[in-house]
Amino acid sequence: MDVGTRLAPFLERLIGQHSPLYVEFWDGSSWGPSDASARLCVRSPDALRRITQAPGELGFGRAYVAGDLDVEGDIYNALALRDIRSDFALTIAEKLSLLRSAIAIGAFGLRRIAPPPEEARLRGRLHSRTRDAAAIAHHYDVSNDFYRMVLGPTLTYSCAYFASPENTLEDAQRDKHELVCRKLRLKEGERLLDVGCGWGTFAIHAATRHGARVVGVTLSRAQADLAAKRVADAGVADRVEIRVQDERDVSDEPFDAIASIGMYEHVGAARLEEYFAHLYELLRPQGRLLNHGISRPAGGKPELGPRSFIGSYVFPDGELHEVGNVVSSMQSTGFEVRDVESLREHYALTLRSWVSNLERNREAALTHVSEGRYRVWRLYMAASAMNFEAGRTQVHQVLAVKATGGVSGVPLRRSDIVL
């Protein structure tokens, strides 16, 4: 009996009889409609071994990263399976069906297959300085050239701000930087702290367009080196300082404003109030904080845990917070929250642009990263785009002020921050 026939009971349990996928196996057999919108290629029995050894999302992810499982054509069509299955956690009946099928075709073994080398293996106390630095290095110290291919010339690794879906990614990223500056109401000569400054693009924008004096901090040496060069090339080295520094060690206050863009996802729930309390201390009276970060709907899982694909391959130790908890944490440390804005649809557009960049530059990207790393990025960004579109993931900008004696310094209306 061929592999497709043997695996049919498991696939029908997993997907249903009306599959959106056409599945091909290493022996040439297949399952599902040949005119399906996406093609899943099971290239090796090791794909099933990985899934039986880690049933669910992580096993499927390992098989894809290792190349034992592949997606041909439009990856979004393959990921539309999520509309049928809310997640990839297998029921007991599905696990038994998979196990029986794997044994029948000789794809089950007690010898454990090592995870792909791209999987994170962090040690030490959660959110200690050493472990946080290792988590950041895992994700960001990949290749600056690779990131440039994916993110485009703005080298901005956070949600853009689109006037319309037809906008270019570069224009939308510049508009996001301008939006943050306007929300912070930056003035000439004011001192700005950019927490998690990445490759320095926002710091350069704040210095060149608004005359701010900027301190940018990152835990990534690769980011800092390129950021410093870009700052010099932009002619603002006298106004922008880039440091390799943990935000917990920043002590040269006061600052007039602080931007935390795509940073607090790395902080962790246990440290969230500590994080905002420190930023509060760093600000002068009436100083402003803009926190821009990915969030989760109420009831969603906060941790991107080690059994999840993103937690294992993309953002180890990352945690997502519900926006209400973020607002409460900020206000409990003394901040007064003045403005909350959701940019969920904007992040979906941003991620689709990044996926297009990645796929268009595939051959060049593979000169800088492994095939496995390329696969990690393709899968995580495409799946994330669909999660934002479906509302399973959110992103918010929260503006807060260090009001003193009831004085906030914030204008009565917000018309001055509208682009």
Give the model's pLDDT for residue 319: 85
pLDDT in tens, 169-191: 999 999 999 999 999 999 999 99
Give the span between the Cα atoms of 190 and 213, in whole angstroms. 6
pLDDT above 90 (res 135): no
Query: According to the CATH classification, is domain 3-104 in 3.30.1050?
Result: yes
Give the span between the Cα atoms of 146 and 150, in whole angstroms. 6
Give the model's pLDDT for residue 278: 97
pLDDT in tens, 194-232: 999 999 999 999 999 999 999 999 999 999 999 999 999
pLDDT above 60 (res 303): no
pLDDT in tens, 378-408: 999 999 999 999 999 999 999 999 999 999 9
Q: Which of 20-24, 63-67, 375-379 has the lowest mean pLDDT?
A: 20-24
Q: Percentage of the chain surpassing pLDDT 70?
A: 96
pLDDT in tens, 238-286: 999 999 999 999 999 999 999 999 988 888 888 899 999 999 999 999 9
In DSSP notation, 203-238 reads HHHHHHHH--EEEEEES-HHHHHHHHHHHHHTT-TT
State the pTM of this model.
0.91
Show the CA angle centred on residue 115, arms to residues 111 and 116, nearest 5°: 135
Strands (E), 116-248: 191-195, 213-218, 240-244
**H or E element at residue 326:** helix 323-332
For residue 228 the two structure tokens come to 């410093």
Listed ranges 14-28, 59-73, 96-110, 128-142; the one with the highest mean pLDDT: 59-73
Span 144-158, mean pLDDT? 96
Confidence of residue 131 (pLDDT cuts 50, 70, 90): confident
Domain ranges for the chain, please list them: 3-104, 129-417
The fold for domain 129-417 equals Rossmann fold (3.40.50)
Amino acid at 302: P
Confidence of residue 85 (pLDDT cuts 50, 70, 90): low
Confidence of residue 87 (pLDDT cuts 50, 70, 90): low
Give the model's pLDDT for residue 89: 67
Give the model's pLDDT for residue 94: 75
pLDDT in tens, 306-342: 678 888 898 887 888 999 999 999 999 999 999 999 9
Distances (CA, A) of 368 to 38, 83, 124, 316, 365: 28, 34, 29, 22, 5
Mean pLDDT of the chain: 90
Give the model's pLDDT for residue 2: 87
Longest dimension (CA), the chain: 79
